[in-house]
Chains A and B, each alone.
Chain A
Amino acid sequence: MLSSFDPRINRLGLPESAPPPPDKAALDQFPTYEVFHQRKENAAYAYVGPVHAPEADVAFLFAKEQFSRRFPCTGLWVVPTSAIQVTGYVGDQESVYDQLPLLPADALPAAAAATDEAYDIFHLKKRGKAHAHVGQVRAASPEAALQQAKAAFGDQRPVVNVWVICSADVLRSDDDDRDMWTTTPDKKYREAIAYKVQDRIDRFKQEG
Chain B
Amino acid sequence: MYGSASTHDIPAKATTGLENEDPILLAEFEARIARGEKIEPTDWMPQLYRKQLTRMIEQHAHSEIIGSLPEGTWITRAPGFRRKMAQMAKVQDEVGHAQLLYSAAETLGKTREQMLSDLVNGKSKYSNVFNYPTPTWADSNVISWLIDAGAIVNQMANAKGSYGPYCRALDRICAEEAFHLKYGHDAVVHMATGTPVQRKMMQEALNRWWPAIMTFFGPSDKMSVHTEILMRWKVKMATNDACRQQFLDMYVPKIWEIGLTLPDANLRKNEDGVWEFTEPDWEDFKRVINGDGPCNAERIAVRRAAEENGAWVRRALLQPQARYVRPLA
Interface residues of A (CB under 8 A from B): 2, 4-9, 12, 14-15, 17-18, 20-21, 23-24, 26-32, 34, 47-52, 54-55, 58, 66, 70, 80-82, 84, 86, 88-89, 91-92, 127-131, 160-161, 163, 187, 189-197, 200-201, 203-205, 208
- Contact (Cβ within 8 A) B82 A189: yes
Cβ contacts under 8 Å, A81 to chain B: 325-328
Closest chain-A Cβ to B120's Cβ sits at a distance in Å of 6
The answer, among A14, A66, A127, A196, for a CB contact under 8 Å with B38, is: A127
Instruction: Jot down 7 A-B pairs with beta carbons below 8 A, ordered by A.
Output: A17-B301, A20-B120, A27-B318, A30-B317, A31-B319, A54-B319, A195-B179
**Binary interface profile of B, 6-48, with partner A (CB < 8 Å = 1, else 0)?**
0000000000000000000000000010010111101100000
Interface 9-mer from B49-57, B111-119, B217-225, B270-278: B111-119
Residue of A nearest to B75 (CB): A8
- Contact (Cβ within 8 A) A34 B327: yes
Query: Complex: how many Å from CA A2 to CA B294?
Result: 12
The answer, among A15, A58, A70, A80, for a CB contact under 8 Å with B176, is: A70
Which residues of B60-81 are within 8 A (CB) of A?
Answer: 69, 72-77
Known: A54-B322, A131-B329, A190-B179. A23 touches B258 (CB 8 A): no
The answer, among B43, B113, B190, B329, for a CB contact under 8 Å with A24, is: B113
* Total number of residue pairs linking A and B with CB closer than 8 Å: 186
Residue of B nearest to A50 (CB): B327
Which residues of B85-105 are within 8 A (CB) of A?
Answer: 85-86, 89-90, 93, 96, 99-100, 103
Instruction: Check B287 for interface membership: any CB of A closer than 8 A.
Output: no
- Contact (Cβ within 8 A) B69 A91: no
- Contact (Cβ within 8 A) B121 A49: no
Query: Complex: how many Å from CA A190 to CA B298?
Result: 29
- Contact (Cβ within 8 A) A20 B122: yes
Instruction: Check B304 for interface membership: any CB of A closer than 8 A.
Output: yes
Cβ contacts under 8 Å, A12 to chain B: 302, 305
- Contact (Cβ within 8 A) B116 A49: no
Cβ contacts under 8 Å, A127 to chain B: 37-40, 164
Cβ contacts under 8 Å, B99 to chain A: 51, 66
The answer, among A6, A47, A52, A55, for a CB contact under 8 Å with B329, is: A47
- Contact (Cβ within 8 A) A18 B304: yes
The answer, among B37, B93, B315, B324, for a CB contact under 8 Å with A31, is: B324
Instruction: Check B242 for interface membership: any CB of A closer than 8 A.
Output: no
Residue of B nearest to A87 (CB): B42
**Range of interface residues on B (Cβ < 8 Å):** 35 or more
Closest chain-A Cβ to B72's Cβ sits at a distance in Å of 7
Cβ contacts under 8 Å, A160 to chain B: 40
Cβ contacts under 8 Å, A200 to chain B: 189-190, 193
- Contact (Cβ within 8 A) A49 B40: no
Query: Complex: how many Å from CA A20 to CA B42?
Result: 35
Chain B CB count within 10 A is highest, among A28, A80, A84, for A28
Cβ contacts under 8 Å, B305 to chain A: 12, 14
**Besides A8-B75, A24-B113, 12 other A-B contacts (C-beta < 8 A):** A18-B301, A20-B120, A20-B304, A24-B116, A28-B314, A50-B106, A54-B317, A80-B325, A128-B167, A130-B329, A131-B329, A190-B89
Instruction: Check B135 for interface membership: any CB of A closer than 8 A.
Output: yes
- Contact (Cβ within 8 A) A201 B114: no
Cβ contacts under 8 Å, A47 to chain B: 329
Known: A21-B307, A190-B89. A195 touches B168 (CB 8 A): no
